[in-house]
Structure 1
Amino acid sequence: MHSPPIVGLLGGGQLGRMLMESANRLNIRMNVLDTENAPAKQISAHDGHVTGSFKDRASLRKLAETCDILTAEIEHVDTYGLEEVSSKVKVEPSWKAIRIIQDKFHQKEYLSKFNIPMAEYRELHKNSAEELKAIGEELGFPLMLKSKTQAYDGRGNYSVKSQADIPAALEALNGRPLYAEKWAHFKMELAVMVVKTKDGVLSYPTVETVQENSICKLVYAPARNISDTINRKAQELARNAVAAFEGKGVFGVEMFLLEDDSLLLCELASRIHNSGHYTIEACALSQFDTHLRAILDLPIPPQSLEIREPAIMLNILGGSAPDSHLKIAERALSIPNASIHLYSKGDARPGRKMGHVTVTASTIQEAEAIIQPLIDFVDGTQRANTQTSKPRPNIGVVMGSDSDLKTLVPGLKLLKDYFGIDPEVEITSAHRTPTYMAEYASSAASRGIKVIIAAAGGAAHLPGMAAAHTSLPVIGVPVKGSSLDGVDSLYSIVQMPRGVPVATVGINNSINAALLAARILGAFDARVQRKVEEYAQSAKEENLDIKGVKLREIGWEAYHEEMQKR
C-alpha cells in the first residue's frame, strides 16, 4: 500500500480516539485539532497535532496546512472556515453536507425534497407562546420542541405534552433558533450506519437503540424482533437519505419504527456515531475503519460490513462521583465476552459519555443474558448517585379512567408501604387514547418496567391491548361497573385469544394483582421474594393463630356479632 495522504481531524474526543486507533493500524498519519490533551492525541505521539478549537478559523487554517484531507468527528464545526480551505485541501464529507446537517431544521427541509419520510414539523419565527400554541393546535399534542443547532444527547430538545408545558419549554430553550416536530408514536428506535464511497453507498445492518433521558444507553445488533423486510427497508431509507448529500465517509442515521411497521427518519449525523460502536467487535471492518477507507478511496468489501456475531453495546455514562465510570469498567472485567473501551476524558460528570462496553455472543438472547448483570450494576450505580436514591419504577400500573383509581389504591398501597415498590402510575384508555396507550406499553421495557398491572371496567380492552404491544407480563384487574357487577370485564380480560396472554385476578382485587406482580419480580429479586414469603407467613399466622384462636375462645355467634360491627 502506498503511503496514504495525511488526514486532518477536527475534534479529538472519543470518536476521534477510536478513529485514531484505526488509523494507527494502517500507519495513516492523522493530525488532530483540539485541546492539548484531547483523548485522540493521547494515543498518537507526533508533533503534527494542532492545539486550538475546531470552531476557530485560524486554527483550522493551521491544520489545513499540515494535511491533504480534512474530516470531522463532530458536526459543530465552522463550515465557512471549511469552505475557505476547501480550495487547498479536500474536505470529506463536503462542507456543504455538514452545513446542512448541523442545522436540523435545514436538514429536514433539504431531505424533504428527496421524499424521505419524516414527522411533520414547523418553524418558529418568534419563539412565542402564541406561536407554539398555534403549532400545537395544528400538529396536535404532544409535540417535540427542538433547537435547530447545537443539540445532541437530548440537549436542545423539550417534550411539550400539552399547552401547559409551553412556558417551561420556551424558557428551557430560550435564545435558541427553534422548530416543533409532531410526536412520533414509535414502538422502537432504529439506527443504520451508512458508508458513502466514490463508488456508491453501503450500509451496515439495522440496529436497535434504547434511549434513557434522551441519551443512548444500549445498542442491540442486529435489532431485536424486526423482520428481514424492515431491516432492508431501514437500510434503504438510510442509504437514500445519505445519498442526497455530497462527500464521502460514514454517516449515522437514526429513525423511528412506528406501530404499523412504517419508518420515519429522526435525524442524520455526518460522522461516525455512537450507535455504530458495536462494529468494532461485531464486524470485520468497524465504522472507523470504513470512514478512513471511504475518504481515502481505499477498498471496502461489502461483506466486511456484515455482522459476524450478535452484539450489545452499553454506554458508560458518568455519575456524580469523579471515578464512577471506573467502577463500571472494573465490574465489566468479570463479564464474559466483554470488550471495554474507556475514553480517557478525565473525571466523570453526570451524563457524560466516559466509555462503552460491547458483549458478543452466538445469539442476541445469549448476549442479553451475559450483559444483564452489568446493566443491573449500572442501574444500581445510577440510583445511588441520585440525590433521592429513589429506584426506577419496575412495575407499571395503568387504568382506563380515573374512576378506576379507587379500585387500585389497596394494591398500590401494598406495593409502596409493604414491598417498598413505588410503581409508575398512568391513566390511558384503549379507546380514548389508543395511540398513547400503545406507546406506553411498547416502550415500558426500555424504561425498566418488568410487569404491567392494567385495570379496566366495561369492555375492559386495556389489559389485552397493552399485552398486544409488549412482551412484558400483564396482569388485568376487572373493575366492577354500574351494570353486570364487573362480570363483563372479567370475561373480557380472561378470554384473550391464544398468543396474547393476560393474567387475570378477581373483580376489584388489586391486592392480588399487586401480590402477583411482586411474585414475578421476586423470581429475579431476592429482596422482593423474601417480602412475598413474609407476607404469606403473616397471612397464615393471622388466619390460624389470631382469628382461629379468637373464634374458638368466644364461639362463632359472638365472633359473628363482632364482625357485623366492623
Structure 2
Amino acid sequence: MEKTVGVLGGGQLGRMLAEAANRLNVQVNFLDAAGSSAKQITNHDGHVEGSFKDSEAIQKLAAKSDVVTVEIEHVNTEFLEEISEMTDVQPSWKTVRTIQDKYLQKEHLKKFDVETAQSIPLAAPTKDELAKAAKTLGLPLMLKSRREAYDGKGNFPVKSEADFDAALQALGANKDLYAEKWSDFKMELAVMVVKTKDEVLSFPTVETIHENSICKLTYSPARGVSREINEKAQALARKAVDCFWGKGVFGVEMFLQKDDTLLINEIAPRPHNSGHYTIEACPLSQYDAHLRAILDLPISQKNLRLREPSIMLNILGGETPDSHIQAAKKALELFGGEGVHLYGKGQARKGRKMGHVTITAPTMAEAEKTIQPLVDFMDQGKAKASDSPARKIKEQPLVAVVMGSDSDLPVLRPGLAILDKFSIPYTTRITSAHRTPTWMAEYATAAADNGIKTIIAAAGGAAHLPGMAAAHTPLPVIGIPVKPTIGDGTDSLLSICNMPKGVPVATVSVNNSINAALLAARILGSSDAAVRERVEQYMRDSEKEVREKDRRLEEMGAEAYAEKYLKK
C-alpha cells in the first residue's frame, strides 16, 4: 500500500495494529519509547522515539506519515489540531478532544439524543459540591474523573454520605470531577464500531465481565441476550459513533439495564480491549478494520460477522513477575495455546494487562468448557473459585425441553438422562398450548434468540404443544407423544404427526423421550464435533452391549438366558 500510518502510542494495541498492517504491506510509524511493545515487531527507521504528548515528537511523526491515528486518547489535542493542517488525522482531533473529557463526551451524546447516564460536573472537588450532585442524582452515585481515567482508575462509588471523604481523597487530586447517576445494570455490553468515509458498521454485541474494574472476560456473542437487544445495542453504538468526526474504529461500552433498556457508558476513539476477540473470531479483526477505515480501503458489514462463538480472557499480571508467562504455558498445556497473545511488556505487575487468550468453538458451551481450566489456574489464590467471573452466568442451554404439564416429567426423565450423559446443557419448562397459549408462543418465539438450538416438546391427549411450538420458531422441534390416562397414546401420536405442510415436527414413538434426546443430540452434532463424538461413542457402546447379549445367548441357550436375564 502507498500510504504510511503514524500512531501516537506503541503499546499492545499498536502491536496488534502492526500485525494487521504487515499483511497489507502498510508501514506503521510509532511514536513511543524505544523498545515499546509495537516497536519490538516493526523494524524500520520510520519510528519516532519520545512522548506522544510532546509537540516536537508529534511534528516528526506527522512529517513521516500520510495518516496519523491514536492508540490512546490521552494525548494533547492542540498538537493534533496543529498537524491536521499538514497531515490527515483520523479520527479527527475534535473527536479525540471531546471523548477524552468524559463529561463532555456524555454532553455531546445527549445533543444527538443518544441514551447515556445523567451526569453533573463538580465546580470544585469539595463535599459541598458532591452533596449538591447527590441531591440531584440521588445516592448511590458514581464519582468520576473527567480525564486520564481508565481500567476503573478515576472512578469511585459513593453509596452514602459516609463515602464523601474517601471519594474526594481518592479523586480530589484531579480537580475535574463529575458525578454520574447510578446505573442499576444487569450486564455490561460492548460493540466495536467502524466508521468509514461512507458508512458506519458494527461488529457483534459482546458481554464483558470485569474484575476490580478491569475487563477480564469477553463473551461473543453476549450470553443470554436476545437478537432484539443485540441489534438494539449495535444500532445504539452506531448512532453514538456517528455523532463524532472522522474515521476509524471506536469501542463503545454500554449498560444493559434490568428493564432491558441500554445506556452508553463510555466510548474509546480507537481499537479496544473488548474487541480483541475479533482477531480469531471474525473475518477481519478490529485492527484490520481500523486500517481499512482510515486508509479508505474496502470494507463491508459481512467482513465483521462472527464466524463462531468466542471467549477472550485477559492475562493480567499476578503475584509473580512471570505470572503471564506461566499463564501462557498453561494455555499451551491445556489446549495447545490457541489464540495466545503476549504483549512484550517485560515483567508483570499485578493487574497490568500482559496479554490475552481467545478461544473459539462451535458453541459457547464448548468454549466455556475449554477456557474454564485456564480461568481457574489464573484465579488461584483468589477468594473462591466459584466466584470466577466465567461462572457468573450458568452454562447456556442448547435444548429446551417443554411439557404441557408436570405430569409429563416422569416420561421425560430418561431423555434428560441422555442429555446429561452427552453433556448437553438444557432447560426444562412447563408451558401449555391450551392453558398458557400466550406464554407458550412467547417462549417458542424467543428460543432461537436465547441460544436454544432445538426444542423437545412433550404432550398427551390433543398434543398440540409440539405443533404450536413449531409454528412459532424456526428451530427444529421434536414431539414426544405422551400416553394419557385414557387410551394408548395413539391419538397423541397422530396429533403430532398430522401437521400441515410448512410446519414440520419430528415425532418419536409414545413415551420415547430417549429417542427424542438422541435425535436432538444428532441435530446438535451436525455442527458440533464434540457432541457428534459422544453420539458416535453411544452407538459404539450400544453395539458392544448387543454383541455381548448375543454372546451370552449363544453360550447359555434361550431358556437359561431368559431365566437369568429376562425373568422378573
Answer whether TM exceeds 0.5 for this pair: yes
Counterpart position of 2:317: 318
Give the match for residue 357 of structure 2.
357
CA distance in 1, matches of 2:201, 2:219: 20
Q: State the secondary structure of the residue aligned to 2:321.
A: coil
User: Is 1:394–1:449's contact at 8 Å kept on the other side of the alignment?
Assistant: no
TM-aligned CA deviation for residue 184 of structure 1: 0.4
Q: Deviations over 1:338-384 (max 9, x none)?
A: 3100000111101100000000100111100110101111111x53x
Alignment match, 2:31? 33
AA partner of residue 187 (structure 1): K
Structure 1 residues 40, 219: closer, same or farther in 2, change over 3 A? same
| Cα distance between partner residues in 2 of 1:30 and 1:119 | 37
8 Å Cα contact 1:119/1:264 also seen in 2: yes
Q: Distance in 2 between matches of 1:47 and 1:247?
A: 28
The answer on 1:139 being equivalent to 2:137 is: yes
Give secondary structure in 2 for the equivalent of 1:331: helix
Q: Helix, strand or coil: the match of 2:143? A: strand
> Within 5 Å, which residues of 2 pair with 1:151-166?
151-166=149-164
Deviation of 1:36 (Å) = 0.4
Matches within 5 A, 1:533-552: none
Which runs of 5 or more residues in structure 2 are unaligned? 395-424, 428-568
Structure-2 separation of matches of 1:270 and 1:22? 18
Residue 251 of structure 1 deviates from its aligned partner by: 0.2
Alignment of 1:33-432 (within 5 A): 33-176=31-174, 177-336=176-335, 338-380=338-380, 383=382, 391-392=383-384, 394=386
> Aligned letter for 1:374?
L
After superposition, give the CA deviation of every residue in 1:212-262 in whole Å (9 maximum; x if it has no partner). Answer: 000000000010001110001000000000000000000000000011110
Give the structure-2-normalised TM-score: 0.68
For residues 447-458 of structure 1, the aligned pairs below 5 Å read: none
* Kept in 1: contact 2:102–2:146 (CA 8 A): yes
Q: For the Cα contact (< 8 Å) 2:323–2:348, is it kept in 1?
A: yes
Change (3 A) 1:446 1:376: closer
The change in CA–CA distance for 1:29 and 1:445 in structure 2 (over 3 A counts) is closer
How has the CA–CA distance of structure 1 residues 445 and 330 changed in structure 2, closer, same or farther, with 3 Å as cutoff?
closer
8 Å contact from structure 2 (residues 32, 48) kept in 1: yes
Query: Structure 2 CA distance, aligned partners of 1:20 and 1:374?
Result: 28
* Contact 1:393 1:449 (8 Å CA) reproduced: no
Give the aligned partner of residue 10 of structure 1: 8
How many Å apart are 1:301 and its aligned residue?
2.5
CA RMSD of aligned residues (A): 1.9
Shift of 1:137: 2.6
Report how far residue 334 of structure 1 moved. Answer: 2.4
Decide whether aligned partners of structure 1 residues 237 and 394 sit closer, same or farther in structure 2, where only a CA change above 3 A counts.
same
Match of 1:332, SS state, is helix
CA contact (8 A) 2:143 2:156 kept: yes
Distance across 1 between alignment mates of 2:256 and 2:390: 15
**How far apart, CA to CA, are the structure 1 residues paired with 2:390 and 2:77?**
37
Structure 1 distance, partners of 2:353, 2:147, is 20
8 Å Cα contact 1:212/1:447 also seen in 2: no
Taking the aligned partners of 2:292 and 2:326, their CA distance within structure 1 comes to: 36
Distance 2:367 2:116 in 1: 32
Letter in 1 for 2:188: E
Deviation at 1:78, TM superposition (A): 1.1
CA contact (8 A) 1:313 1:357 kept: yes
C-alpha distance in structure 1 between counterparts of 2:386 and 2:160, whole Å:
26
Distance in 2, matches of 1:331 and 1:320, equals: 16
SS in 1 for 2:208: strand
Cα offset for 1:175?
A: 2.0
> What is the letter of the counterpart of residue 263 of structure 2?
L
Which structure 2 residues correspond to residues 399-548 of structure 1 after superposition, within 5 A?
none
Residues 447 and 362 of structure 1, relative CA distance in 2, 3 Å threshold: closer
Q: Cα distance, 1:394 vs. partner?
A: 4.2
Shift of 1:57: 0.6
Deviation at 1:446, TM superposition (A): 6.5
SS at match of 1:320: coil
Q: Supply the AA of the counterpart residue of 2:36.
A: A
The alignment's TM-score, normalised by the length of structure 1, stands at 0.68
Structure 1: segments with no counterpart, 5+ residues:
384-390, 396-443, 451-470, 474-566
**CA–CA distance in 1 between the matches of 2:172 and 2:141?**
17
Are the structure 2 counterparts of residues 146 and 446 from structure 1 closer, same or farther at C-alpha, using a change threshold of 3 Å? farther
CA distance in 2 between counterparts of 1:213 and 1:130 reads 29
Structure 1 residue 324, shift from structure 2 partner: 0.8
SS of structure 2 residue aligned to 1:205 = strand
| Residues 443-464 of structure 1, C-alpha deviations (whole Å, 9 max, x = no match) | x9668699xxxxxxxxxxxxxx
- Opposite residue 236 of structure 1, the aligned amino acid is A
Partners of 1:116 and 1:241 within 8 A in 2:
yes
Separation in 2, partners of 1:449, 1:80: 45
User: Structure 2 CA distance, aligned partners of 1:314 and 1:445?
Assistant: 10
Contact between 1:248 and 1:295, CA under 8 Å: does it hold in 2? yes
Q: CA deviation at 1:125?
A: 0.5
Instruction: Write the distance in 2 (CA, Å) between the matches of 1:270 and 1:183.
Output: 24
CA distance in 2, matches of 1:96, 1:183: 29
- Deviations 1:158-187, CA, capped at 9 Å, x for gaps: 111111011000000022110010110000
- Give the equivalent residue in structure 2 for 1:530: none
Shift of 1:4: 2.3
Give % identity.
Answer: 60
What's the secondary structure of 1:294's corresponding residue?
helix
Listed one character per residue, the Cα deviations across residues 251-285 of structure 1 (whole Å, up to 9, x for unaligned) are 00000001111000001000000000000000000
Q: Which amino acid aligns with 1:376?
A: D
* C-alpha contact (below 8 Å) 2:118/2:181 kept by paired residues: yes
